Amino acid sequence: MPLTEGPLTHPGERSFGMYVHVPFCSVRCGYCDFNTYTANELGDGATRESYADTAIGEVRLAAEQVGRRPVETVFFGGGTPTQLPAGDLVRLLGAIDESFGLVDGVEVTTEANPDSVTPESLATLRAGGFNRISFGVQSAVPHVLATLDRTHDPAGVPQAVRWAREAGFDQVSVDLIYGTPGESMTDWRTSVEQAIALGPDHISAYALIVEQGTAFARKVNRGEVVMPDDDETADKYVLADELFTAAGLGWYELSNWARDEAAQCRHNVLYWHSDDWFGIGPGAHSHVGGERWWNVKHPAAYAQRLAAGESPRHDGESIDAATAHLERIMLETRLRTGLDLAALSPAGREAIPDVLGRGLGTVTDGRLVLTRDGRLLADAVVRQLTD
């Protein structure tokens, strides 16, 4: 399906990335509402063995839709991409290079569970062009991992990180989750300190969100687990920020810290700047030339469409100027580079003195940058700037 140019800047003036969704997990975590499946949840035509070839079919179709554009970042997410053989991930990356072309210095990331990699698989990925890996560690405390339905042994995480370093990965990232029911401040400090001890280039730390429709939400609704209050969650964010900063990891987005600018996740920065990306895989979202669309969610339906030579696109929308403006404010406010005050409406600019007076932000070179207190209240600040 050809794409029409939207109201934003011409696509050629914006960065372009590829997202590849791999929907497989060994166990479905109760808190997760991502489009993921265990092997026994899928029918014929959506097997791990056939997935790479199916997704390669969409890569080739994507090149027909948007034309050949140099790819600056590629991100394999899920799910657990490393549930696929490393050779299949490399073949997928090769298809992207063949169909679009990878720029010199391209950032190529895969997410991984610590127990889903081996020295051999990591060596294959690195030799095949992957240069960044993000490990889903979540916590270093066994009872917290059990509540989250995570299956890896935290004692094995340093080994996985070491293997990635030995394989030659340029960047190693660690993902953490805070605010799990039953997680004490001591538990969270342990997780943060052990994550720092791994020597990562990048750390993401996200507050646990109860997504309706998940098994975890049903437990909360039945009173089987109790979520921490907002003050405790805020205290955990502050603790993490203090410890990360002391270790030389600076925040560059509300939930992300990096050793320096080179260690920032360029693919996620592309999202936050509302640049262009094409999403490959079931349920994957794309954003190109002012248009946003998403694929059918179920892997079997996705595979059936591609096998029939049809687009897996399910639905989409054109992004009008008002929506683009609102999203810019929402996203740029999250960044350490800040929000250009010129992007605000007159009413939004009138709110700035109050934001500054409450200690929620500072203005430098015409850009609003949130303080730590402002980061804790970022959603409220955005509402104030857009009302």
- 226-251 per-position pLDDT tens digit: 677 889 999 999 999 999 999 999 99
DSSP code, position 121: H
pLDDT at 218 over 80: no
| Residue 8 binned pLDDT confidence (cut-offs 50, 70, 90) | very low
Q: What is the pLDDT of residue 6?
A: 33
pLDDT at 194 over 50: yes
Q: Are 74 and 93 a contacting pair, CB within 8 Å?
A: yes
Q: What is the pLDDT of residue 387?
A: 82
- 25-58 per-position pLDDT tens digit: 656 555 554 556 565 556 555 688 899 999 999 9
The set of residues, in sequence order, having a beta carbon less than 8 Å from that of 281 and lying 6+ positions away, is: 19, 20, 21, 22, 23, 55, 58, 295, 302
Residue 76 φ/ψ, nearest 5 degrees: -95, 115
Average pLDDT over residues 325-330: 95
Q: What is the pLDDT of residue 186?
A: 98
Q: Are 276 and 11 a contacting pair, CB within 8 Å?
A: yes
pLDDT at 147 over 80: yes
Q: What is the pLDDT of residue 209?
A: 80
Q: Are 48 and 81 a contacting pair, CB within 8 Å?
A: no
Q: What is the pLDDT of residue 10?
A: 39
| Residue 211 binned pLDDT confidence (cut-offs 50, 70, 90) | low
Task: Measure the CA–CA gap between 197 and 199, rounded to whole angstroms.
Answer: 5
| Residue 9 binned pLDDT confidence (cut-offs 50, 70, 90) | very low
| Residue 203 binned pLDDT confidence (cut-offs 50, 70, 90) | very high
- 58-79 per-position pLDDT tens digit: 999 999 989 899 999 999 998 8
- Least confident stretch, 156-160, 208-212, 279-283, 368-372: 208-212
Which pTM was predicted? 0.91
What average pLDDT does the structure give for the chain?
A: 90
Q: Are 210 and 220 a contacting pair, CB within 8 Å?
A: yes
- 299-319 per-position pLDDT tens digit: 989 999 999 999 999 999 999
Q: Which residue has 């169909």 as its token pair?
A: 99
Set out the domains of the chain in order of their start, with CATH numbers.
11-272 (3.20.20.70), 322-386 (1.10.10)
